[in-house]
Amino acid sequence: LTKRLTISVDAMGGDDAPEMVVAGMELARQRLPHVDFLLFGDREKVEPLLASYPSLQKRCEFRHTDEMVLNEDKVAVALRNKRQSSMRLAINAVKDGEAAGVVSAGNTGALMAMAKFVLKTLPGIERPAIATVLPTISGQTVMLDLGANVDCDGDNLVQFAIMGEVFATNVLGLEKPRIGILNIGEEELKGNEAVQQASTMLQEIDLPIHFHGFVEGDGIGAGTVDVVVTDGFTGNVALKTAEGTAKMLGHFLKEALTGTLLGKLGALIAGPALNAFKERVDPRRYNGAMFLGLNGICVKSHGGTDALGFANAIGVAAELVSRGINEGIKRDMEKFVHNPHEEQAAEA
């Protein structure tokens, strides 16, 4: 029996909010019988939607606010001026212990800034990272950071590696996940200073981590490692490049199969197989970017997703709570005695 838990939800974030959000919660309710909801948003818009899902309503507490964070809001402005927004109140609920985790499909920068400000980082973690699970030829891999930190040093990357390792162990259930640092070659001497430093530290680290070494961009899809560690600039570009490539290839395939009569006929016959293919790479399946390293669970849904995608993001948050990701990170960070700053200072 899974322990009951509450997820707080920002009703107003996302392109098709709040309709998409409430419909996604209904899907999540059916899938996750152990989850209750705490929902923040505009009464006039949200209550009529909730009314159409009586079973959801029974497991959902709704709280009104007419303030909301917009996509075009500057991060600093949202942080300072939108303290009564649905996003901020949903985060506060985690801080106050009313919810075990929060999900929003709103402005990523504002969500990260608010979550960091309200929840703070876990002991030993300087900066939280955005992580997601990606499909690979041999299964799946977790990649981080995906955009929270434009510039990273070796320490940051090592902390990302530890968080990724805990995720792969606790949530993906891998026994000895292989950790790789994204680089432009697999040779030891390649890359910038940050990846060089992180690689040295991970080789010497006092934790039972399986450090594979460097991995190149094509190693992500190949499933060369279970955890891909990178700075937020490179990670964001890599993730979006993969998405763009998938979209382009899907477009080309569709053009080819609809361009000729035989193509159309073949595609019709192979329909179920092609659908299985589409389903396997459906981006909604991988929706839910996790903010790791915060003192509370926070998941960002893609802003353009639909109810199915949003339900998946809720599932991710519930999973992170149930699997005790933060307890795992805390435990590993305590064991991680190595303090490179002190060592470097001593050497200098």
User: Residue 213 or residue 217: which is nearer to a copy of itself going by CB?
Assistant: 217
- Output the CA–CA distances (angstroms, integers) from residue 326 to 5, 158, 171, in the order listed: 15, 17, 11
Give the residue with the Cβ less far from a copy of itself, 218 or 347: 218
Q: How far is the CB of 268 from a copy of itself (least distance, A)?
A: 7
Q: Which two tokens stand for residue 276?
A: 């299985």
Closest CB 181 distance from a copy of itself, rounded Å = 11
Tokens of 23: 């419909």
- Rounded CA-CA distance 289/280 in Å is 18
Of residues 51 and 273, the one with the C-beta less far from a copy of itself: 273
Report, in Å, the least distance between residue 219 CB and a copy of itself: 7
- Closest approach, Cβ 105 to a copy of itself, in A, equals 17
Name the DSSP class of 186: S
**Residue placing its CB nearer to a copy of itself in the complex, 105 or 166:** 105
For a copy of itself, the closer CB: 51 or 270: 270
Residue 207 or 267 with smaller CB distance to a copy of itself = 267
Instruction: Strands of the chain (E only): list them.
Output: 5-10, 35-41, 60-64, 101-104, 129-136, 139-144, 178-182, 210-215, 227-229, 289-292, 297-300
User: Torsion-angle region of residue 36: left (phi > 0), alpha (psi -120 to 50) or beta?
Assistant: beta
Q: How far is the CB of 151 from a copy of itself (least distance, A)?
A: 6
- Minimum distance of a copy of itself from residue 74's CB (angstroms): 8
Question: For the chain, how big is the Rg over CA atoms in Å?
Answer: 21
- The site for a copy of itself (CB under 8 A) is made up of 135-137, 147, 150-151, 182-184, 191-192, 216-222, 230, 232-234, 236-249, 251-253, 255-257, 259-260, 262-263, 265-274, 276-277, 280-281
Are 36 and 6 in contact, with CB atoms under 8 Å apart?
yes
